[in-house]
Every structure is written in structure tokens, then in C-alpha cells.
Amino acid sequence: MSKALTRLCWRAVICLTMSIGTARLDAAVVSGSIHRTANPQTPVAGARVTLFTPTLLQFWETRTDDQGAYVFSAVPSGTYQLGACALDLQYLELQVVVPAAGLVHDFSLGPETEPGQWQIIGNTLPELFDATDIGILRPDGKVFFCHDTVDPILFDPVTGQKTFPAGSPAEQGCMSGSLLEDGRIIMVGGQNPADPGSFTNAVPWVKTYTPTTDSWQWLPPLQLAQGRWYPGLARLNDGSFLAMGGGTAPSAVRTNTCELFNLTTQTWSFTGSMLNPCEFPPSALLLNGKVLATWSPPQLYDPANETWTSTGNFNQPNRGYPGHSDHSLVVLADGRALAVGIRQISNPNPVMGEIYDPNLGTWSITSNPGLTRMQPEVVQLPDGRILVAAG
């Protein structure tokens, strides 16, 4: 993968939620078309086009239509980076000045010349991280790793250097985490101590880490006094968070209860419960504003009425429930969701991927790669491909 594509991938992960509500009445239209360099008469449909400010405070993304055309509406005048890429084609990015009258720019994409390669860029020693640890991309491009809140590591993927942020005043392992819009990191639930063998010690704690002061602050705790180890966590369209399920103290019994975090009041409140108790459910915000949770069975949360409803079950329902899920979940560019992972322990499933159609509420089987994986990590790349690693 090219360095430019890598940079865009980092930017896209954290910035998609930052452009909401930034449009102005006097804003301009940025449009154009994309075609292949080898054949200018051939439009590129489904290409990914991005427009963002150099400071990354505003970020837009769209896809080209069947004629290769793209459009961004209501863009404030100013200086931006405009980028385009597509499967098997190169990534191009340039700086543009958008006047009040708008801007038209066409792209000509040649073949992808970067086959991609793996290289070791650093390490997280003395900490060893595995699948249940937390990795959060910060606005500055650095990654905040931790398996608890007392031994975090800040890793710079550009330089390969690591630093050691301050630890929190209390150990909080097996939690879920995410990034707030102001750059703080939020850690929700977990257990104390972080030893995975101590699943009976769930806590309702919520803490934030502030990079500018290298310090931790307590937020009001979860409403569930018994705590949540391995809770699910999903960001909603309005920027708030949905915490779901998890194991509880004192006997690690799983719960089906859920809570919402209000960004304005910085408080938690109960919302509709899941269809069944679960822990660490793969979950994703669909383009229709609903949250898909696939553990288990697959179900949908509707923020409008704060309720959960069942949806189509997997073609391969044996995915480890009520134990740990065997898959990760990612939303595709066309709005469908892809579950990636295959049960390998007992009664193994033959196919690693299944795709969910939110319009039909059904799943379909995908093809298999040469190496099938259980519990892999998945990342969507800027050109629409899905990177599947580890497991």
C-alpha cells in the first residue's frame, strides 16, 4: 500500500464524525468525475473520494456513481485536500482552494503500483497485547494501546517510537474504549484487577484520558452498579455511545441491559435491553442509523425508539455463543455489514465470511481465503477492501 493511502486510512478512521453540522448557507459545491488513465472513456464507479481540511477538523467522503461522477454539497470556502482512489487503481491527492462559486475537478487514475508489503515498525514492549486489548487512533495519528488503564503505551506508526502515558489511579481491564470528539479517550466498564481469570470483579467505572495534560479523570459511572466486563460499545449518529451487555459482579453473570452516554450531560442512562445476555458483542453503526449486534442472535438497536429487534440469523449460527464471538464486524461502503471469522474449536464452520443486507435482513455466504481465521481483527481500507489480520 502506498504511503499516501496509508495516511488517508489513518485519517479516515477518526475524522468521519467531525464534519457533522459544519455546512453553511453560503457554502459551495465540489464536483467532478473519475475515469481510468488507460481508457479515458471508461468511468470508475464506486471510487472513494475524500475532501478534508489540512487540520482535519472537517472531513467529507463520498462514492462515485455509475457514470464516475461525485459531488460534495455545502462545502465552506477554503483550502482542502481532495483525494480519490478505487480498487486496483492508484490513490491521488492534491490541495485545492474552494471558492464561493464552487470547484470542478476530474481525476484520471492509473493502475495501482504499490503491491503492499509488511514491515516491523516498532514494538510495544514491555507490554504484550492480544485480541481483547484496546487500540484507539488519536487525532494526531498516534495509537493509544492498553490492556488495562494503568499500563498504556502511545505508539507513533510514522516513527515507530513509543512513549508511556500516565496510568490511571485504578486498574480497569477487559473494558471497551473509544475516542471523544474533543480528543479525549474514554474507557468504559471492565474489571479490577485486569487479570482475565478474575471475571468476577466487574466494575461500573468510566474514565477519560486527556492527552494535552497527560492525565486521567473520572466520569459518572455506569448505571449498572454490578459493572460490565467486556461490554459492547458503539457510537451512534449523534456522537453518543451505546454500552451493551457484559459480565457482572460478583459471579460473572452476563447481562442484557444497555446504557446510553449523553455527551452534553456526560451521564449514563438505561435504554432498551438486548434480546439476550451477552458479552463483547461485535457491533457496528449501519448507514440507516441502527446498530447491528451479532452476538447472539443478530439483532438491531433503533435509537429512535430505544428498542432491540431480531433480524436474520447467520447461515452458520454455531459461532461460539455464549462464549466469545468468533468474528469481527465491519460496515461496507454500500451499507451492508460483513462478519469475518470462523469457528475453529468444535463443530467448525466451513466459511469465514457472511454479509448482512439491512434492506432484506438476511445473511449470505462469501468465499474463503487461503487461510481461514478465528477472531481476526478487520479494518476497511480507503479503496473499499477489507484488511483481515491476526486471529
Looking at every residue in the chain, the average pLDDT score rounds to 85
Question: How confident is the model over 346-378, as pLDDT tens digits?
Answer: 777 788 889 999 999 999 998 877 777 777 777
> Residue 131: pLDDT band by 50, 70, 90 thresholds?
low
Dihedrals phi, psi of 224, to nearest 5 degrees: -75, 105
Q: What angle do CA 209, 211, 215 make, to 5 degrees?
A: 50
> Residue 12: pLDDT band by 50, 70, 90 thresholds?
very low
CB 212 within 8 A of CB 183: yes
Distance CA 25, CA 116 (A): 43
- Global pTM reads 0.72
Grid cell listed for 272: 432498551
CB 80 within 8 A of CB 52: yes
3 vs 205, residue with greater confidence: 205
Beta strands per DSSP E along 19-68: 28-36, 48-52, 59-63
Q: Of 7-16, 23-32, 146-155, which one has max mean pLDDT?
A: 146-155
Dihedrals phi, psi of 270, to nearest 5 degrees: -65, 145
For the chain, helix, strand, coil in percent to 5 are 5, 40, 60
Mean pLDDT along residues 9-26: 39
Q: Give me the amino acid identity at 145.
A: F
Question: How confident is the model over 297-311, as pLDDT tens digits?
Answer: 899 999 999 999 999
CA-CA-CA-CA torsion sign (372, 375, 381, 384): positive
Please, which contacts does 73-77 make with residues 24 or more away whose CB atoms are closer than 8 Å?
73/23, 73/27, 73/29, 74/23, 74/24, 74/27, 74/29, 75/23, 75/27, 75/28, 75/29, 75/30, 75/51, 76/22, 76/23, 76/24, 76/26, 76/27, 76/28, 77/26, 77/27, 77/28
Query: Is pLDDT at 41 greater than 50 in this prediction?
Result: yes
Mean pLDDT along residues 273-289: 92
Dihedrals phi, psi of 124, to nearest 5 degrees: -110, 20
CB 134 within 8 A of CB 117: no
**C-alpha separations of 112 from 1, 50, 106 in Å:** 9, 18, 18
256 vs 122, residue with greater confidence: 256
> Residue 22: pLDDT band by 50, 70, 90 thresholds?
very low
Q: What is the pLDDT of residue 134?
A: 78
> Residue 51: pLDDT band by 50, 70, 90 thresholds?
very high
Question: How confident is the model over 55-90, as pLDDT tens digits?
Answer: 878 889 999 999 999 999 999 999 999 999 988 888
Q: What is the pLDDT of residue 118?
A: 66
Q: Do you know the residue count of the chain?
A: 391
Grid cell listed for 293: 449486534
Q: Around Cβ 229, how many Cβ atoms within 10 Å?
A: 29
